[in-house]
Amino acid sequence: MIKLESVHIEEVRGIKSLDLDFHQSTFAISGPNGSGKSGVIDAIEFALTGQISRLMGRGTKGLSVAEHGPHVDKVKFPDASFVRVKVLLTDLGKSVTITRKLKAPAKPVVEPTDAKIQSALAEVAAHPEVALSRREILRFILVEPAKRSEEIQTILKLDDIGQVRGALNGAQNKLLTAHKTAIAQVKSNRDSLLVHLQLPSLKAEVVLAAVNQRRELLGLAVLTELTSDTKLDDGLTTAATGEAFNKQSVLRDLKSASDAVHGAKDAAKVECAEILLDIEKLKVDPELLAAVQRRTFIEKGLQLVDGPECPLCDHAWKSEAMLRAHLDAKLAKSKEAQKIQSALMANAGVVSQSALRIASIVANMQRLGTALLGTELSQSLTKWKADLDSLRSGLSSVEGIIGSRARLEAGWPSVPAVMAKQLDAMTKKINAMPDQTSTVDAQTFLTTAQLRLADYREAMRKEKASEIAAAAAKLAYDAYCHALETELNTLYDEVQKDFSKFYRLVNDDDEAGFTAKLTPDEGSLGLDVNFYDRGLFPPAAYHSEGHQDGMGVCLYLALMKRLFGKRFTLALLDDVVMSVDSGHRYQFCKLLKTEFPETQFIITTHDRLWAEQMKSAGLVTGKTSVAFHSWTIDSGPMVESNVEIWQEIDKALAKGNVEAAAGALRRHLEFVSTHLADQLGATVSFRADAGYELGDLLPAVLRRTKELYGKAAESAQSWGNTSAKTVCASRKDSLAALNGAAGVEQWAVNKAVHYNQWANFGKKDFAPVVTAFKSLVTHFQCDACQGFLYVSPRGRPETLRCPCSIVNMNLASKPKAT
């Protein structure tokens, strides 16, 4: 798979122009709501897959990548909107640049490129699930089991497997139907041969006796055995036959036809009645009828699905898999419709086989030819045969069965009104013919017998072949289902283990015994979780929303691990980490670092504190994080960095815009103070509304830092570490000096001053304030990694350090000897 090296975004979503360098590492993007963070995720997702999840799928009707992907000011100039992303293809060890324009999402320009690179990128493009937004994570947790199954099947690409199973099942059903038809054809041909031979069975000796009786009369060699290539009329020349029909045989065929005509009204009567009852049920229950029609429609639609667009309404789904899962779920819901559909098809099959039997009798008659039968009977037979074939065709689908209602009510055989009379007339005509000589009778008996035997043998050959094919299809389908079930059970077992493990890692303080159970059952996937050893319950039963969110992230990670294994190298988490409550964020960072060391996470969060905590936890660094402090429609996201915030303030001052500079400084100091208070464990007067102000925080941070420096000095003293003691003293002095220069007590504590009045300063008055506070803030940062100082472990700190450990002050004194 891939890792991101850098991205250039131009006129996409809310971004005008932006460059970010990811260093192939986990990267954090923080900023308030509406600052453009998600636009970055959208742009990366678009560059990799040609899709933007937020503009597709449920709840996005009327939205499209083409129309709503470009910056709002470039909608009419989509050519100007593009994303260029540089990625490392980890499997190939090659870096490539992908440039994808909003105007042509399906035609990215890749440089360099070759077949292997194209194949690797196609694999990436097929996995839009690398992008996960907060609104999506709950789809794993707070959904009904059938829906969860859909979602998880989609993410695991189980749809592809479902398609194979569906195709194998389709093959099995069609071959089974073909086999049934072949059996019916064999029976029909066998009956036809028996009627002609006037025998009760087709035992070889009995057939040979009947045939040899004629052959001896004709002076032909007696047949001693009946093998698969024995010809009953062997030795008989065409010229010798003279007449083309055997009078007695024709009379028997006519009788068979007459019997069929007279018995037609009772053929498959029960099944026909049941079909009519079912159709009546559908008539009085329009919803059931609609469900049955929908099933047929959906089944047909599923066959036509060829991409993420609905074949009926062209609505673009997030993926073809989502569309298929949606249609499959609809099919699964209409159980009653499925029952009636099965009954209709089964009964129609019996009627169809009866129609085939009559059609075979008619076909035998047709073979006698117009010369013997006369034009009228010949035409009637042709019409009837076509009519029966048409009926059989209609009975092969539910729609056709319902459409044949009138025909079924009137009597499905629909014997032509004149047929009985015509057959009677023909019988009389044949009877009136002079009897054939025994020679001609024997000759035509043999030729007709051979014809019918050949038909019978061919039907048996086809039946045997169709039996083998149907058996093979059934065996294959069963084997595939078995393999599928085995693998899925293993998969769900692994996913539930990983999910539980990840959740325990994040919540090790209060849910160390957490377990979960995934229960697959006929297209649904139940999820139950342990609630403090009180039993297994649905996630929404007792767990808080925050915990449910955390479960969503953990389940996502478990699924991705199972889907990609070690090739899970990239995930775009859009405000997803907010799902983890503040008490468990460090553990979440630990989870990502320890369980997914090879995965590059691009993480956005609207909580700047959280972004800094990611730095403290070593998940990201100053180089691999960026903060957006605001956004405008003309500028896009405004990037704030430790370097750039001061540049921004200086720039504003240079323009004489003290108000803007003061605003930026105040914002930055509020953020730094909050962060440091948290990182250093400063004691702040409690506020129930959590509305801490700069005046509450910064002095507390200074006191705490002074205290920590004191502890570090004591520790150094106890260990006899003179140089460390000197560093502590130096930092303590430096802090005191910077505090004095900045006038923290004056600016920060005085609320009236805090809320105001910097903005009313002149440029020259305010510049020294900026310089002083910049120096003070810089004091809390490491020169090398730019990270802010923090204590570790939290609660009972033993060190005061920066993320890269260049600043690392021991707080633990040497134990005194007892």
Partner 1 sequence: MATLQQQIADKFLTRLAESKEISAEKIEKLKLALSANKKPKAEDYIKIFSEPDHGELK
- Residues of this chain that interact with partner 1 (CB under 8 A) are 156-158, 160-161, 163-164, 166-171, 174-175, 306, 465-466, 469-473, 475-476, 479-480, 482-484, 486-487, 491, 562-567
Q: Give the whole-angstrom CA distance, residue 594 versus residue 614.
A: 14
Choose among 623, 671, 665: nearest CA to 645: 665
Q: Give the whole-angstrom CA distance, residue 234 versus residue 223.
A: 9
Q: Which is nearer to partner 1, 73 or 485 (CB)?
A: 485
| DSSP one-letter code for 433 | S
Least separation in angstroms between residue 472's CB and partner 1 is: 4
Choose among 603, 663, 695: nearest CA to 25: 603
Q: Give the whole-angstrom CA distance, residue 212 versus residue 347.
A: 43
Least separation in angstroms between residue 50's CB and partner 1 is: 18
* 15-21: strand order across its sheet: 15-21, 2-12, 82-89, 94-101, 109-111
Q: Which is nearer to partner 1, 82 or 568 (CB)?
A: 568
Q: How many CA atoms lie within 13 A of 547 on its CB side?
A: 20
Q: Which is nearer to partner 1, 531 or 564 (CB)?
A: 564
Least separation in angstroms between residue 466's CB and partner 1 is: 8
Choose among 91, 69, 86: nearest CA to 11: 69
Q: Give the whole-angstrom CA distance, residue 319 versus residue 435.
A: 76
Least separation in angstroms between residue 310's CB and partner 1 is: 16
Choose among 523, 595, 517, 584: nearest CA to 549: 584
Least separation in angstroms between residue 296's CB and partner 1 is: 16
Least separation in angstroms between residue 317's CB and partner 1 is: 16
| DSSP, residue by residue, 669-691 | HHHHHHHHHHHHT------TT--
Q: Which is nearer to partner 1, 165 or 703 (CB)?
A: 165
Q: Which is nearer to partner 1, 7 or 525 (CB)?
A: 525
Least separation in angstroms between residue 478's CB and partner 1 is: 9
Give buried/exposed letters for 118-138 (b at 16+ CB in 10 A, else e): eebbeebbebbbbbbbbebbb
Q: Give the whole-angstrom CA distance, residue 573 versus residue 360.
A: 67
Least separation in angstroms between residue 192's CB and partner 1 is: 24
Q: Give the whole-angstrom CA distance, residue 137 versus residue 328.
A: 22
Q: Which is nearer to partner 1, 317 or 758 (CB)?
A: 317
Using DSSP bridges, classify how beta strands 600-605 and 27-30 pair: parallel, antiparallel or unpaired.
parallel
Least separation in angstroms between residue 473's CB and partner 1 is: 5
Least separation in angstroms between residue 31's CB and partner 1 is: 36
Q: Which is nearer to partner 1, 168 or 254 (CB)?
A: 168
Report whether 382 contacts 366 (CB < 8 A): yes
What totals of helices (H) and strands (E) does the chain contain, helices first?
30, 17
Least separation in angstroms between residue 89's CB and partner 1 is: 17
Angle between helices 269-284 and 335-366 (to 10 degrees): 140
Q: Which is nearer to partner 1, 158 or 708 (CB)?
A: 158
The first and second tokens of residue 98, run together, are 């992908």
Q: Which is nearer to partner 1, 471 or 536 (CB)?
A: 471
Q: Which is nearer to partner 1, 163 or 450 (CB)?
A: 163
Q: Give the whole-angstrom CA distance, residue 552 versus residue 556.
A: 6
Least separation in angstroms between residue 295's CB and partner 1 is: 17
Number of other residues whose CB lies within 10 A of the CB of residue 260: 22
Q: Which is nearer to partner 1, 306 or 634 (CB)?
A: 306
Q: Give the whole-angstrom CA distance, residue 613 versus residue 675.
A: 8
Query: Ramachandran region of residue 408, left (φ > 0), alpha (ψ -120 to 50) or beta?
Result: alpha
- CA dihedral (562, 565, 570, 573) in degrees, to 10, reads 30
The first and second tokens of residue 270, run together, are 């029960």
Least separation in angstroms between residue 461's CB and partner 1 is: 9
| DSSP, residue by residue, 212-260 | HHHHHHTTPPPP----TT--TTTT--HHHH-SSS-HHHHHHHHHHHHHH
Q: Which is nearer to partner 1, 41 or 175 (CB)?
A: 175
Least separation in angstroms between residue 121's CB and partner 1 is: 15
Least separation in angstroms between residue 309's CB and partner 1 is: 15
Rg (CA), the chain: 42
| DSSP, residue by residue, 401-422 | HHHTHHHHHH-TT---TTHHHH
Q: Which is nearer to partner 1, 199 or 484 (CB)?
A: 484
* Locus of tokens 């991705």: 560
Least separation in angstroms between residue 479's CB and partner 1 is: 4
Q: Which is nearer to partner 1, 205 or 306 (CB)?
A: 306
Least separation in angstroms between residue 460's CB and partner 1 is: 14
Q: Which is nearer to partner 1, 386 or 472 (CB)?
A: 472
Least separation in angstroms between residue 362's CB and partner 1 is: 28
The first and second tokens of residue 491, run together, are 């998969």
Report whether 326 contacts 153 (CB < 8 A): no
| Residues β-bridged to residue 640 | 627
Q: Which is nearer to partner 1, 174 or 255 (CB)?
A: 174
Opening angle at CA 275, ends 273 and 276, nearest 5: 65
Q: Give the whole-angstrom CA distance, residue 466 versus residue 175.
A: 7
Residues in the chain, overall count: 818
Q: Which is nearer to partner 1, 159 or 549 (CB)?
A: 159
Q: Which is nearer to partner 1, 161 or 684 (CB)?
A: 161
